[in-house]
Amino acid sequence: MHKAVAQAVKDDVVEGATRPVVPSVWSSKVNQTTWMNGTVQTSIVPLGDLFMVEDDGAKRKATTSNVKFGWAPEAYVGTPLEFMNFTTYYTETYMGFEINGQHLDASIYGAVRFSPTFSWLPAARDGGMVEYSGTSYQSWVFTYGSTSMLALFDAAGVPVYLDQNVTAPSVGRYRTVMAFSEWRADASHLPHVWDGYNQTTFTHPTPCPAPADPTPVEQPIYIFHPKDNFDIAGQDVGDGTGDVFFVCVDVLTNRATGVDHHYQWLSSWTVTHNPQIGQYQNCNGYPPRCLGAEDFLVGHEAAQGLGSPSGGMCTTNPQTGEWWSLPVGGQCAAGASPSGGTCSWSAVRTKTIDAKCLLDQLGFKEACEAGQRAPFAAATKIFLGAFATDDPATGGCPPLNVTGA
């Protein structure tokens, strides 16, 4: 057991327990923590308590989380736009994410599909009475190869705690602890979560309406990136306000970009793209791994997805700034143009600076801390000034003498 859990759980073995039977349909509030190779997995967006509904007969499960985004624009406070809404759908054949109305294909996670949460229980052994958070519960334990499960049930046979440990060759040790509350033997926590569900909306997302003018659009964008890596295909980028929203949240949560994203440099680009916009791909890593099935059209959303409808996909979002995704499948080859129809975007890098110049020398961090919420006007002014001039004495950052795209 994890150290924190071991301190709260004490063995007190009692034999002869009756094995509980979990109903085929249930829903519950769930407080969930996940570890990867001993490190707690955290999100820049706090997910808070989840609500889960499972239907073993229909072979499907869904989880939802709806929490306030602490750095949302002041104008959004008290409105639905202040919230980050996240739903995961699992069926027998598919898994997809819905984030603020955007339906994102999750094929990057491979064969993750629906499986009953307690399917292992009939093969579990009596683990005796276990004390958890000051109360004694009956425990049931299951071990098979590199997989182990521990569940605690109250006297009525209701699950209160589940500890799942799996070791996979590709990722290492993966552990999830779930604490259940408000358990119900029906779907009443999320009675309508499956209403209108259609897998096609995830696998074949609908683009924004095509503008009447087919002329390609030029868009200045910015991206933090690892040193010497100028491949922006399959990456997410932003305008000044949108990129600052991303970086300021990093600053305000003490997640320095050089630590959690391995970013050392910051580049400005001019992107020329097809004027029709597609679904925003949520991409991370080098090489990138992207949520979302749109792999041709340039994607778009409000920064942090705080827009409506569909995360601000087809609207302008001045309060948050704009984010774009540059799909690998839409990148133009040398000499090709988005106007030709065989590709959707091309890009020219205009300046690259050392991130330390912006973060440590121009007062950017202090401006983020003073702003607290988007649109972080003072920080954005500093950010854009770093590219407008090369002289630190006038608020600029000198360009790095680098080769690349």
Q: Encoding tokens for residue 243?
A: 């990129």
Query: Do the Cβ atoms of 158 and 28 come closer than 8 Å?
Result: no
The amino acid occupying position 257 is T
Query: Tens of pLDDT along the chain (405 residues)?
Result: 433 333 334 443 445 689 999 999 999 999 988 888 878 766 545 556 799 999 999 999 999 999 899 999 999 999 999 999 999 999 999 999 999 999 999 998 888 899 999 999 999 999 999 999 999 999 999 999 989 999 999 999 999 999 999 887 766 888 999 999 999 999 999 999 999 999 999 999 999 999 999 999 999 999 999 998 999 999 999 999 999 999 999 888 876 443 345 679 999 999 999 999 999 999 988 899 999 999 999 999 999 999 999 999 999 999 999 999 999 999 999 989 998 889 999 999 999 999 999 999 999 999 999 999 999 999 999 999 999 999 999 999 999 998 766
Q: Each residue of 178-216: b (16+ CB within 10 Å) or e?
A: bbbeebeeebebbeebeeebeeebbeebebbeeeeeeeb
pLDDT for residue 129: 96
Give the dihedral sign, CA 40/46/47/49: positive
pLDDT for residue 15: 52
**pTM value > 0.85:** yes
pLDDT for residue 7: 37
Helix, strand, coil percent values for the chain (each to nearest 5): 20, 35, 45
Whole-number percent of the chain with pLDDT over 90: 80
Domains of the chain, start order: 3-184 (2.50.20), 217-394 (no CATH)
